[in-house]
Chain A
Amino acid sequence: MFNGFSKSQIGFRIILSILFVELISLASGVIMGLNIKSPTIIAACLLTIIISQLIAWFISENVKKSVRNVLSELAETSENLGSLSNELTVTGRKLADGSTEQAASIQETSSTLEESSSMIHQTTQNTKEAEILAKQTKQSADNGNVEMQTMLEAMEELKKSSTEISKIIRVIDEIAFQTNILSLNAAVEAARAGDAGKGFAVVAEEVRNLAQRSAQAAKDTAGIIESNISLSEKCLDISNQVSKSLEGINNDTHKVSELLEEISTASQEQEIGINQINKAISQMEHVLQGNALTAQESASSAEHLNTYSNTLKKIKEELTYLVDGGKEVEKRIIPTISREVEVKKEIKSQKLEVKIKPEIKSVPKVEEVKPKTEVKQKVEPIKLKTEEIKPKVEEVKKVKAEEVKSKAEEVKSKTEEAVEPKAEIKPEKEETKVEEKPKTEEAEKPKLELKPQIQPKPVVKKPLPKDTDKSVRPEDIIPLDDF
């Protein structure tokens, strides 16, 4: 079709020049009043034709030059756009990966925090119990002190009474001594009485024995009482020490109680703090989920961008064809169109995947998508790609794949219908270019907003699919870099 059109273009140009020459010859005929002979006219006509052809050729060459300049700029821009979109894709993936990792670590942190929260709660409980125990200990120490004081008093009493007993014992000892002397005197008297005093002497002896026994008993008792007194003195000393120790315990337990109270309040505050941190972490989790989604979306937007840059390249090729003609250009355009369809499928499949699986655990999906983008970058044969993509799409949802196909068909049909003049192509291209930038900016917004952004695509494709009628084999594909 393009071929025919270009031929007719040349014919059109010839006809136009002939018409132009005819007009000039007519005009010259009128001017000359038909006095000039036809050979002259014919010669003039021929000259005019040649001149006009030359002029036309010059004009077209100039136009071609300027168009070529524009085309080279266009090629450069589309190249930049392509690399930029690739970078964006990679960055978006990295961002998605990073936010996923972050989400995982945040979940770990959250669980750790919950554990420590429960630990702190336990600590608070323990501290409270310890506080109660410390108070009880203090009470016990107080009681012990009071009892110790009572014991001290009792000890003092014991010491006093021991001293009293000691005095009494001394009196008994004195009496025993006196008794002893008395018994000796009795013995003396008995001895003086001679035989008559013999019986009395025995009595005196017995009395003396008793006196000595009581003296011995008094002595023993005195010893016991002495040791009692010394022991009670020792007891007094020890009791005083115990009393001091109890006082120390009392003070220490008071301090312990205060410290425990402080610990209790501190751990309660800690608990509150941890709860706040927990809340903050869960909020962060939400934000991160959003971030992951946004990153995914921006990655897909970057892919759209890639598509647009491809479109741009196609447009450039068309223009080159229009300017230069030639069959090589035609071949190049077709693969790019079918690639666009493929990209669309991929984007749709990505969306579906994102919707199906949980938000945070989308890491594997991103990994699945990666090879696709790599494939794109490598520009492998179209058929292979479509084969790769189709099963994936079918896995996700057949219905969706069918929708994609139907959409692709719609696009094809639309492109068939839209055989528009060349002049109209340029403004459209410019429009798409202008639209691309805002899209990437908007890509950060939620999914729902992406749909309207994607819709303009068919508009872009309308001019492109002019060549889709012509079936192109994979071998015909030439790398875009050839431009």
Chain B
Amino acid sequence: MEERKKLLQIRDLKKHFAIKRGFRNKTFVKAVDGVSLDIYKGETLGLVGESGCGKTTLGRTAIRLYEPTGGQIIYDDKTIYDGEKKIKEPMLPYRRKMQIIFQDPSASLDPRMTVGEIVGEALDIHKLYQGKNERMGRIKSLLDAVGLNTEHSNRFPHEFSGGQQQRIGIARALAVEPEFIVCDEPISALDVSIQSQVVNMLEDLQAELGLTYLFIAHDISVVRHISNRIGVMYLGNLVELAKSTELYKNPIHPYTKTLMSAVPIPDPEKTRARERLILEGDIPSPMNPPKGCKFHTRCPYATARCKEEIPQFKEYGKEHFAACHMLETYGA
């Protein structure tokens, strides 16, 4: 296999949000609490997890839309953030390389700007054209690439359906010719029949432009479809990371196992045949996470050690990482 190039490296990344409770009293929500990840050029890395597990925060912190609390971000071999050495690179040149597509298409488009202005604004900021004609031409070809018509450029976002609005969001992200795009639940606000259109388009664009995606979604079937590798998050930590086929066939972390078995499969016979692992209880509050392994409150295999000691994130198979004491003791 050819040597794969690491495009984005995240080392022990942390993002804590302060919450004021009364006078001078601050508590922290550790939304992302020490995540390390490598994203290779040209791949799609999926992130799944329940709501509140920090997957969106991780996506936004990775491209410094949120200022990290600690850790390191290395993009294309250049450190753009280092919490210890206090390195903070100016971001504008990197914004051209890293873009994001948001979850709610209508909320992420300015209602007072036309589609042409929305897409063109990115070109203006990065001064990517000479003369008005070139600017117009670029906007046209971008709209074309996402399956919209040229005459749409004079309309406002509210005149479009949800699926079309998401296409506008994608055109805006593509305007600066990025290498890396964070797709933050890009299809969960869309209707089922529209979802597959957008998924296919994202795949086509990736093949055509050589893009790298960090694909965040709570719908595991979609993530499994689009991703090469999948990371599973629980309460601010990565609990398992593996190739997507491997993760489905052979999940090793108890949380991933229950998560996989909870996904409904549109096949009545398979559904009747399969045994379900039902997870007890709810996800604990991230403001007051459990000590030790954060999953121990819901884990069917939890031992005394799990309540005290935080498990290390280790490799258990080929490119198959997980954080669990059980695996350490008994193997995968």
A associates with B: no
Chain B residues with CB under 8 Å of chain A are none
